[in-house]
Structure 1
Amino acid sequence: MPEHHLALALKRFLIVAECPPEWRAFDLYLFRAAEVVFYVGQSYLAYERVWQHIYDGYKARSVVGRFILCNWPKSMNFTIELWSSQADRFAAVQHDLNAAERLLIEQYAPCFNDALNQRPTPLPDGYAPLNAPLRCSRSPNKLIHEAERAVRMDERKTWSTV
């Protein structure tokens, strides 16, 4: 049975230049930090939609994209979760994509999901608000290079502690 879930730091997501074939089945996604979920969404290709949020954040067309850019570089450590609506956890909703998204929104009460969310979680202290100035370059390529450097630093730390 194929894996129906993937979680990785945003900085690691940013350095994946093309959607790997094994990720094409993912049609749900979450942006989170520790216990707080910022946003849940669905798309027939979640990898592309996550990228679209980031690009749209520059022009304030995506709330979660803007939030990432306003909280850079802290947001590099946010977790991106990719899910398939075919995962066992969505059997109760017959693996229906819309129902699976609704289930995740009900479970996590994300900060930025207004639709289908009766009780959005308040944004925790310590995060810049959506109207804050961007804290990163206006170039997605520079964002990717910063993510690459951060990943290399993490790997060096891992090797130095072994």
Structure 2
Amino acid sequence: MVPVSVRALTIRYGSTTVLDAIDCEVAAGELFFLLGPSGCGKTTLLRAIAGFIAPAAGSIRFGDQDVTREPAEKRGIGMVFQHYALWPHRDVAGNVAFGLEVQGVAAAERRRRVDEALASVELPGFAARKVAELSGGQQQRVALARSVIVRPRVLLFDEPLSNLDAKLRDQM
């Protein structure tokens, strides 16, 4: 993972300023938590870092690279969304492999990396299961595996780690 630097970041929706000149630094490999009440801008900041929202002002850097105007697909991020964003028509393996498919990774390599990613989140043997057959915690693990399998430069969680079971949380 690379360092992330946010400088004077301002996000507006129409005439409403949602984030006003936010600064933060996250060291490479550091766990960094945003704490605050509902509606205070935590998700908005994550979505701006991910490239889903364009800032009105300020900058976002990943290492030495200014990514402020880079589209999300060029930033090299992985993101676990609040509601996991899993596709019900795909099995677990299909959900986890999606990013690799988009990257054009060969089928044999995708299968190997899916098995590796599922093992890393303690879901070996779950590849053929339907998403609807999984518990909430298992769905979160699938979303996490889908995010890390692409080897992102930055991994974002729009979800409290408290929702992970203690053993997996400690492992991370």
Higher Cα Rg: structure 1 or 2?
A: 2
Instruction: Indicate the structure with greater strand content.
Output: 2
* Larger RCO of the pair (alpha carbons < 8 Å, separation 6+): 1
**Shorter-normalised TM-score: what interval?**
under 0.3
TM-score with structure 2 setting the length? 0.25
